[in-house]
Chain A
């Protein structure tokens, strides 16, 4: 278990290292960030001086070496736009994203698991039809459009909810709903099919034949066995929540990492982009690692592996 954990941790670091490398070289191939940050009437001599100062005149391998040496110590340089420590700016925004993502994840499970379980237990019923119909729709409706429509209904027409920003609980309602909708839909569908697979097993028949209460059959025997594919997908989806957060945060002016990343990309603020890539890929891979460790708890058979 320990060796497994260490090798997975090494893998995580390798992934983070490779994504930083890829984005570093892509960004340098993509054009000169310096020109975009200087006034139009500047002299060529001053441009050169600015480049020299930021080290953009050195050979690419030297720049890369310096970048990695800094990155290891958590130093991604200063944001070209905000003139502040790039990593600091990203970390400052991280709690807002984690709060949004965490709330969306919670809502996803509160919605998706009961809907999936009920649809499977009452297969072919009205509940199944409504639940799965909703899931199919939820999967097809793009989050950013749902967001716009919710803003129109609840902010413009009814005036119940703020259009964006942070503050109180009311600010959470729409962003969380938008972020959760897509994931809840997928997890509800998967829960249903995983439950149906397990319900066909002999040990469920045995459990029922023993006269166990339906609730025990469902909760202890079926759901626990159906949990493995659900946790796998949920783990993958948790990472994708970060991607969804980019769009949701932009629509609702949520001051998180996603919105900051979009702005950094629009401004070609590369130190900030690289710091954001670092934080996002680290969060993503650590989430996946946590999910892997969770397997051991759910399915003791995988513990020895």
Chain B
């Protein structure tokens, strides 16, 4: 049995390393996009349109307007990670805070927030984000707002549940007995103890948000062309599937590998921080 668990541990660590490598590649591409990309992602050159991968100067080929596909995918990483990061931050802060308050103070405001969460959870996430996005409008800022409005509930739920159990612990009672203010107890004693859960949920949500953004942009909402977002690139690629497979293959592979990398890092983090979450 122990040999097997050692094997299991090694396997988990190996997968964690693969995840870190993939995620780092995406992060490097996003941060250093102007250095990595050989061309301007928006520069059209009709003489060079729909060149296959391997064409001189265009390692992954070009699209219908002759724009360099590799450069567009690299800049796409920037957009995907920016949206993912902003959304995770926004949902973690808003959802976490609401969960913290609802769990600690309870009362009717807490109940109202949790009821709202129940209603939101009774609607498929992607459809909710899509509907909100169709109403608030297109563009980078609005897609972040839409995803956050649909995604905060998970944090609120998890954090509230954790707070309910943490606030019964003796150290919290002790802090109250010492005469500490409620705000101080909440942020100095309760929050640090629910932080691991917030981090775990964040790591799980990150790739979900990136894929959801791509899906929404793919459906014609969200980030609009010519901005090089992976989802809208895939959407445009549908018209050229018969003549230019590379337009669908590379942006999609970039999206899948980024999501895979983040998922693997998330799984690894989850094992590290909290064995009871293991799945």
Whether a CB of chain A sits under 8 angstroms from the CB of B260 is yes
Give complex CA distance A56, B19 in Å.
53
As a 0/1 sequence over residues 181 to 225 of chain B, the CB contacts with chain A under 8 angstroms (1 = contact) are 000000000000000000000000001000100110011110000
Interface SS, B side: helix
Whether a CB of chain A sits under 8 angstroms from the CB of B263 is yes
Are A193 and B126 closer than 8 Å at their CB atoms? no
Whether a CB of chain B sits under 8 angstroms from the CB of A302 is no
Task: Evaluate whether A190 and B234 lie within 8 angstroms (CB atoms) in the complex, with A19-B122, A148-B248, A149-B252 already known.
Answer: no
Are B255 and A266 closer than 8 Å at their CB atoms? no
Of the stretches A60-68, A106-114, A276-284, the one at the interface is A276-284
Task: Evaluate whether A280 and B127 lie within 8 angstroms (CB atoms) in the complex, with A30-B136, A190-B279 already known.
Answer: yes
Whether a CB of chain A sits under 8 angstroms from the CB of B125 is yes
Task: Evaluate whether A29 and B122 lie within 8 angstroms (CB atoms) in the complex, with A140-B259, A265-B221, A266-B220 already known.
Answer: no
Residues on B lying within 8 angstroms of A by beta carbon are 4, 7-8, 15, 118-119, 122-127, 130-132, 134-137, 207, 211, 214-215, 218-221, 234, 237-238, 241-242, 245, 248-249, 252-253, 255-257, 259-260, 263-264, 278-279
Apart from A142-B211, A261-B127, list 20 A-B contacts with CB within 8 A: A27-B135, A30-B136, A124-B4, A141-B256, A142-B215, A144-B214, A145-B234, A145-B248, A145-B256, A148-B238, A148-B241, A156-B241, A156-B242, A193-B278, A242-B124, A243-B125, A247-B218, A258-B127, A265-B130, A265-B131
* 19 A/B residue pairs, CB under 8 Å, sorted by A: A22-B119, A23-B131, A30-B135, A139-B263, A141-B259, A141-B260, A142-B214, A142-B252, A143-B215, A144-B215, A148-B237, A148-B248, A240-B125, A243-B124, A243-B126, A244-B124, A247-B215, A273-B131, A284-B123
Residues on A lying within 8 angstroms of B by beta carbon are 15, 18-19, 22-23, 26-27, 29-30, 123-124, 136-137, 139-145, 148-149, 151-152, 156, 189-190, 193, 239-240, 242-244, 246-247, 250, 258, 261-262, 265-266, 268, 273, 277, 280-281, 284-285, 288
